Structure 1
Amino acid sequence: MDAVVGITISAFLIMAGLVLKNNKILFIIQSIWILILICFNSNSADFLNNQALYDNANSLSLGSEGFCMNGFYFLSILAKNLGLNFIEFNGILAAISTILIYYVILKLSNNICIAMSLFMLYPLVSSVIQKRWYLAMGIIVLACYLLLEVNNKKIATIWYIILIALACQFHTAAVYFFTLIIFYWIPDKFKNFVAIFGWFFLSLFRNQLSVILQSTDNKSLAVKSEYYFETLASNNLWHYLFWLIWHLLFVLLIIYLLKDSKVREVLGDKYSNYLKILNMWSLLIIPLYSFDPVFSRLFRVVILFNYIAISNIAIVKDFKIRIKYVTSITYQVALSLSTFIIFNALAGMPFDQLVFPVFQSNVLINSLI
C-alpha cells in the first residue's frame, strides 16, 4: 500500500473520531485499522533487531537477562517449534496487547472514538516500530487499570505487581513501573513532595544510576545500561530542557483540568485522584531524558489515561466545561501531533524511513491489493 494512502486513511479516522466522539461503528473501524497496522507489519525501523531476537532465541537465552525477557524467549522458542515466523508470532502477541488497551478504553472512556483518535496521533506509529515495548505496554495499561478499579488496595497491588512482572518478560524497561506502586502507597499529602524531590534527586545523581546498573552481574542489563546511559547519552543541557518541557506540557494540562471542581465532578473523585497520582509519578521519568528520549515510552501509559480523561469531558452540557473541553482537545491534538512530528521527522532518521514502512510493509494489506 502506498504510504500516503495509509496516512490519509489514518488522518480521516482521527478527524472522524474527534467529531463523532462515541460512534460504535467508527470505533470498530478505528480498532480494525489499528490492529491491521500493528499486527501485520512486516518491516519498520526496529524490525530486524526484534526479528533477530526471535530467530536467535534458544534454551540458552532463558535466564540470560536475569528476571526479564524470559517470557519473550520462551514464547519465541515455542512459536518456532510450532512453525511460526516472527511476523505471525508478533502479530498474535500484539493483538493481545491491543485488545487489552481497547478494553481499558471501553471501560473508562465515555467517548471512545476521541481516545482512539488521540492514540492514533501518538503513539500509534511508535507502537508499530517498538514491538517488544508495545507487548509490555498493553499489560502495563491493564495493571494500571486494575490499580484504579480494584477496590481492595492490597489485592489491587498484588495484581499490579504480578502484571508488571509479566510485562518485564517482554521488555526490561517495564521494571521502572515497580516505582509506581511504591509511589502509590505513599500518603497523598507527601506525594507531591516525593515526586518533585525524586525528580531533583534522580537528576542530580544520574551518573550513579549508570554505574550501579553496569556493575550488575546481569551482563545483558549492563550492556543495555552502557548503550542507553553512555552511548546514546547526551550531556547537552538544551537537550534535557527540551524533553523536560515536552513532558511537562502533557502533565500541566491535566493538572490544570483537575483544578476545576466541575471537571473533577465529571471525571469522578476516584479517577481524578488516580490521574493526578499517575502524572505526578511521571515526573520521576524526566531525569531519564537526560540520557535519551527513548525513555519517553514509559510515559505513553500515563498519556493514554490522560487521553481518556480528556475524552470524558467532551459531552458535558455545562458551558464552562464545554469551553474547557474545546481548549483542552485543541491543545492536546496540537501537542500529540507535534510529538508525532518530533519523533518521526526530527528524530535523526528521515520521515520516510520511520513512518512510510508502517503503512507500506503490511502482509495483510499487500496481499489484498
Structure 2
Amino acid sequence: MSAIATIGARLAGGPDGPRVLSPQRRRRRRVQAVWGLLVLNVLTFFPGSPHILPIPGSVGKLITQSSLVVALVLALSVNRPARVRPSVFIFLLALLAAESLLASVGAEFLFGALFRASRLILFVTVLWLLTPWWTRRDLLLVRTHLMFLWIVLGSVLLGLLAAPGVALTDDRLGGALWPIPPTQVGHYAAVAVGLTTVLWLSGLLRREVALISVVLAVPVLLLTHTRTALVALLAGILIAGLSLFTTRSRVRKSFAIGAAAFTIGALTLGSVVTTWLARGQDTEEVAALTGRRAVWESIAAAPRSTFETIFGLGLSNKSFNGLPIDSNWLGTYYDIGLAGVAIVVAMLLFVLIAAWFQPDGPRRALALFLVAYCVVASFTESGLSDASPYLLELTLAACLVYSGASREGAR
C-alpha cells in the first residue's frame, strides 16, 4: 500500500515526485503554443537585415512559414472534435481570405500570390479554431500574446547586449539575433507597453510587474525611432483610458500625472523631442513621409481595369516597383482592390461598434486600445489585409468584445 500511495502522490504532484498537469492545463498550454506559432509565423525573417546568428535566409523563412502548418495541426488536436463559435469578425476574415484568393488567380506573379492567399486562408482557419477560448475570463489569449511579445523583445535586448553595433545599425534598434527591422521592433514594444498599461489601469496587473515592463519596453521603442508606433501607442492608451475614466480612480490619477508630465516635458524637452521626431531628416523629407507619398501617388495613378480596381492584382509583398508601400489602405487597394478595402473597413467598424456596446471594463479598454492602435498605424504601416501582427492583434480585439465574452469559456 505504501508503494501505491507513493506512486499516487507523484502522479498528483506531491512533494515526492513531479507534478502532472491536469487535462485542462495541458489544453491551455497547447492553446498558448498555437498562438506562439502564429506570432512566429508573422515574425517575418528579413535576411537582408544585419544579424549575428548564421541563419540562412531559406532556413529562416522555412521556420516561420512551417510554423503555421504546425499551428494548424496543434489547433486541430486541442480542439477535438472541432468546435467553433459563430463570429461576424471571423466571417469577414474568411471573406477577406476568399477575396484575396480570387484576386491572386490572375496575378502577374501567380505562385507568390497564391502562396500568400493560401497562407492567409490557413491563418484564418487557425484563428477560427481558437474561438472556443475567446470567452475566458482570465484573458488567456491577451496574456499569451503579451508573453510572446516579451520573448521577442527579450531577443532584441539580448542582441543589443551581444552586438550593439549590429543591433543599432543606422542608429535604429533592430533584432541582431533574429533579423527584425526597427519598425517591427517598435511595433512590438509599443503594443507590449500599451497592453501592460491598460492591464495595470484595469487592476489586472501588479504595479511592480507593470513598472518593470514599461521601463524596459519604452527605451526599446525610443531606440527604434519609430514615430508611427509611438503616436499609435499614445492614441490607443488615451482612448482606452477614457473608457475607464469614470469607473477607475487609478485612471484619473494617472491621467492627471500624465498631463502634468507632458506639460513639463513639452516646456523643457521640446528640442529633444523635435530632434527625435525628425530622425535626422530635413523638412522636405518629413513632409514627403520618407518617400512614401511618391509611392502612394504612383499606385493611385497606375492604370487598372475595372476588375483590377474592384478585386485588385493579387496578394504581393506590399511593395510597388521595388519600394515598400507602407500604407495599409494603399497596400490593400493595390492587392485586393476596393472590395478588400471595404472588408477591412467593415472589420474595424465591427470591432469599434461591438466595443461601444460593451460594458465599461478591462475587455472593452483592451479592445479599444488594440483597434485604435491598428487604425492609427494603418496609415503608414501595412498588414490588416494579410497574415501579420496587425491582423493578429485586431483578432484579439474582436475576441475581447465577443458577445459571449462575459461568460467563462467551456474550455
The bucket for the TM-score relative to the shorter chain is: 0.3 to 0.5
More helix by share: 1
